[in-house]
Amino acid sequence: MHATLREIRKTPEGVKIAQRAFEDFIAHHDFRLPREVVYTGCGSSHFLSQPLAMATTRLGGRGVSLPCSELLYSREFYPIGNPELLVAISRSGETTEAVNALKSAGVPKFALTAYESTLSREADYSLIVPAHEESVVMTHSFTAFYFAYLQLLLESFGRETFDAEKTAGLTKEMIRNESYIREIVENFDFRNVIFLGSGILYPIALEAMLKMKEMAIFWSEAYPTFEVRHGFKSIADEGTLVVLLADKPFDWHDKLTEEFRGQGARVLTVGRRNTGADYFIETPEVDELLTPVLHLPVIQLLAYYKAVSLGLNPDRPRFLSKVVKW
């Protein structure tokens, strides 16, 4: 069995690891997250920084997200304002841009990582979530990082935190769709895939696009759900799979599904109800801030099985390494 698959299946365990990391942090630190925060990372860590920034804003603060390289070299083009904290994210804690971005900060520094590392040592505070992975691509650690930091965000803003055991159980339910996801890939040899999401699920669509590129070396796109109608839909035809991440579908989602099917594409809807799609995976009703945790295993499994169907080893994607350094 590929390490990547084992690690996706470890998502429920990762949620529990995240909870322990959160509890350990608050037990040993009086620090609580401020309201004005800039988040940064590279690759998957950047896509993780986006829902964390969105969650900060949704809870009444102000979160801004941008890639480490943009923070280092083009920050004057972004509405950073006057942040009270910089949060740098890196699974290894050794990514050059992430370390340099943290060093460049003129504000308190916070590291989100899986290891005691250069990043954690450079930071004033570090939340270490030891959801370790053998494979190159980031899978269950993404979910674990998100959940641990979300708990700290809720605690810091005086909100009730989520039940980790229940959340882990819900991710286990989502992973039970593995056979169905494998069947979709085996029965439909799609040539490209479009991931769609709105709000906090848009960066999950971006992460899905990246997972498909990393594992399967495959043509994948990601757009805000309804923005796809403005020119981008032209690439969808009988060889396209459209993955619609829709927590609470409404009539526009139904119309969009019908539109894509009219172009010959097939649609997979992941959400509370079917939108008239060819394939459907139901998600349980949860707080909107928890929806990424439910959708992530689905998109990771889809990328994994597409890679396997193409005869690729998702543990060792070409040209990539676990730690990116200059």
Percentage of residues in the chain having pLDDT higher than 90: 94
Structural domain boundaries enclosing 294: 177-309
Q: What is the DSSP letter of 324?
A: -
In this predicted structure, the answer to whether residue 123 has a pLDDT above a threshold of 90 is: yes
φ, ψ for residue 293, nearest 5 deg: -60, -35
> Helices (DSSP H) in 10-107: which residue ranges?
11-28, 44-58, 68-73, 96-104
* CA 136 to each of CA 2, 38, 45, 142, 160: distance values in angstroms, whole numbers, following the listed order: 12, 26, 13, 13, 35
Give the pLDDT confidence score for residue 219 in this predicted structure: 92
**Residue 82 counted as domain residue:** yes
* Mean pLDDT computed over every residue of the chain: 96
Res 146 pLDDT > 80: yes
Check if the beta carbon of residue 284 is closer than 8 Å to that of residue 138.
no
Q: Is the pTM of this model over 0.95?
A: yes
CB 195 within 8 A of CB 245: yes
Q: Which of 247, 245, 246 is nearest to 287 (CA)?
A: 247
**Residue 112's pLDDT band (cuts 50, 70, 90):** very high
Q: State whether 250 and 119 are in the same domain.
A: no
Q: Is the pLDDT of residue 325 over 80?
A: no
Annotate 256-295 with DSSP letters as a single string. HHHHHHHTT-EEEEEESS--S-SEEEE-----GGGHHHHH
Q: Examine residue 134 and state whether it is found in any structural domain, yes or no.
A: yes
Is 43 a domain residue? yes
Residue 318 lies in a domain: no
pLDDT at 2: 94
Q: Alpha-carbon distance 49 to 70, whole Å?
A: 13
Nearest alpha-carbon partner for 139 in 291, 286, 14, 285: 14
Residues 293 and 221 in one domain: yes
From 112, 138, 162, the end of a domain falls on 162
Among 96, 204, 99, CA closest to 142: 204
Whether residue 199 is contained in a domain is answered as yes
Domain contains 64: yes
Confidence grade of residue 321 (pLDDT, cut at 50, 70, 90): confident
- Is 80 exceeded by the pLDDT of residue 254? yes
- The reply to whether 236 falls in a domain is yes
CATH number at residue 282: 3.40.50.10490
Count: domains in the chain: 2
**Do 169 and 12 meet the contact criterion of CB atoms below 8 Å apart?**
yes
Of 136, 162, 188, which residue sits at a domain end?
A: 162
**pLDDT tens for residues 156-170?**
999 999 999 999 999
Q: Which residues 6+ apart lie within 8 Å of 167 measured at CB?
A: 15, 147, 290, 293
User: What is the SS3 assignment for 59?
Assistant: coil
User: Cα(281)–Cα(245) distance, rounded to whole angstroms?
Assistant: 10
Kindly tell me if the per-residue pLDDT of 93 is higher than 80. yes
Hey, what are 299's tokens?
């998109």
% of the chain at pLDDT higher than 70: 100
Mark whether 138 and 234 lie in a shared domain.
no
pLDDT band, very low/low/confident/very high, at 19 (cuts 50, 70, 90): very high
Q: What is the pLDDT of residue 178?
A: 98
Residue with tokens 């899978």: 139
